Every structure is written in structure tokens, then in C-alpha cells.
Amino acid sequence: MGKKRKTKDVNHELLDTIIQAEQEWKQIRSIVEQSMEPSINGMQQEAIARAKYLFLLREARLRNISAVRVY
């Protein structure tokens, strides 16, 4: 059996992942917006990054955590 992880540690990890996903999404979005003719691949990567970010936000909402309370 594996070691049981503390909820606080999991919440910190989730918030760190949310911050990374947001930065990734904004970076890809910026590149696509600045492109004269954005490629299909670029737009797909932006959509995936946005979906990942929104999923993580929903997960944080379901767990009832926020960056203000945890940090």
C-alpha cells in the first residue's frame, strides 16, 4: 500500500498546476493572436491548454479551495 498523501499537500500541488496551466494557455494564446495566419495546430494547442486550465479550475472549485486560503 502506498503512503497516504495529505489533503493540504494535494491542494498546494493543484494550485501550482493551475498556475502553470494558466501561464501555458496565455503564452500559446499570445502566440496565436500575434500570428498573421494562425495554424490549425496552434489553435488546437490553445484549445487544449484552455480546456486543461478550466478543468483544473473546476476541480479546485469542487474541492472548495482557493489560493487565498491555502497560501
pLDDT in tens, 4-56: 778 888 999 999 999 999 999 999 999 999 999 989 999 999 999 999 999 99
Residue 66 confidence (pLDDT): 82
Report the distance separating Cα 43 and Cα 18, nearest Å: 20
Q: How confident is the model at residue 1 (pLDDT cuts 50, 70, 90)?
A: low
Question: Cell 480546456 belongs to which residue?
Answer: 51
> Grid coordinates representing 51?
480546456
Q: Tell me if residue 70 falls in helix, strand or coil.
A: helix
Instruction: Give residue 8's pLDDT.
Output: 86
**pLDDT given at position 38:** 86
Q: How far is CA 68 from its chain centroid?
A: 17
Which residues contact residue 52 at a Cβ distance below 8 angstroms, ignoring those fewer than 6 apart?
21, 24, 25
Burial group, residue 46, by CB count within 10 angstroms (0-12, 13-18, 19+): buried
